[in-house]
Structure 1
Amino acid sequence: MDSPIRQLIDTVAWVLIDNGRILCARPRGKDVFYIPGGKREGAETDLQTLVREVAEELSVRLDPDTAVHVGTYEAGIPTDEHTVVRMACYTADYTGVLTASSEIEALAWFDLGDRELVPPVDQLLFDELAATGSLR
């Protein structure tokens, strides 16, 4: 019996923690918040994707020399049993003022109590950050 074809959505995310809370963003036209970041384009590296996506979404510039890999997580999408999201997460210093771009409708600082407001792959990050004491 053939197993179903699985689609992989390969993403990179920026982990910004402040006072035990993590920055999340809600794209225009969506009703769910995500960790800022997005899908790679072509042969981009994780860091190239991260810098581009964060600049597009939050109008700040990340310093790739300060990037630290936090972890890589994979989880299915509840509405599509054949799709898995992989999210490589990094911290990095930034310059500029965090501002929602034209593609982002809202920014919010979430703690562990907001875990159910983010997708399953983001929930895995929340769990690990809570276990290490970074997320309250």
Structure 2
Amino acid sequence: MRDRRVLMVRARMRDVLYLPGGKAEPHESDVEAVVREAFEETGLRLTADDVEPFGTVTEPAHGQAPGTMVAMALFLARPGGALDSAMPVASAEVDEVEWVTSADADRCPPAGVETLRRLVAAELID
């Protein structure tokens, strides 16, 4: 997060904003997957010390059959140091990166909407 906004991405061929992330490889911990996915999708170089757990979200999966749910472990990237001045960039996996507030919830799938709600409740974003 930066300036009371959270970084989201729009994946190729998708119409909504998602949190950067993905699935852990078989040999990875969740934190290692966060560090890898952040770099792959945004070019941001995080370390395990930069992230902290922020709970889990289980919501209907966007673009999937009715009743399909997605469960996501959420992590926050701690502000400070080089991360504060780093510029995220779109990668081969995403078309755009954008800093958003809760006002952008209508551009997010259900899991993103719930995550924005929790970030507002924690007074981390507007």
The TM-score normalised by the length of structure 2 is: 0.84
Match of 2:23 among 23, 35, 39: 39
Matches within 5 A, 1:1-136: 17-77=1-61, 79-93=64-78, 95=83, 96-136=86-126
Q: 1:5 maps to what in 2?
A: none
Q: Which amino acid aligns with 1:70?
A: F
**Greater C-alpha radius of gyration:** 1
The count of residues paired between Structure 1 and Structure 2 equals 120
Where is the strand percentage greater, Structure 1 or Structure 2?
1
Q: Which amino acid aligns with 1:129?
A: L
Among all aligned residue pairs of Structure 1 and Structure 2, give the percentage whose two residues are the same amino acid. 32
SS in 1 for 2:67: strand
Where is the helix percentage greater, Structure 1 or Structure 2?
2
RMSD: 1.7
C-alpha separation in 1, matches of 2:124 and 2:49: 22
User: Which sections of structure 1, spanning at least 5 residues, go unmatched?
Assistant: 1-16
The TM-score normalised by the length of structure 1 is: 0.79
Cα–Cα, structure 1 residues 112 and 92, in superposed 2: closer, same or farther, change >3 Å? closer
Is the Cα contact below 8 Å between 1:33 and 1:117 reproduced in 2? yes
Which sits farther off after the overlay, 38-47 or 50-59? 38-47
Is the Cα contact below 8 Å between 2:89 and 2:96 reproduced in 1? no
User: Which sections of structure 2, spanning at least 5 residues, go unmatched?
Assistant: none
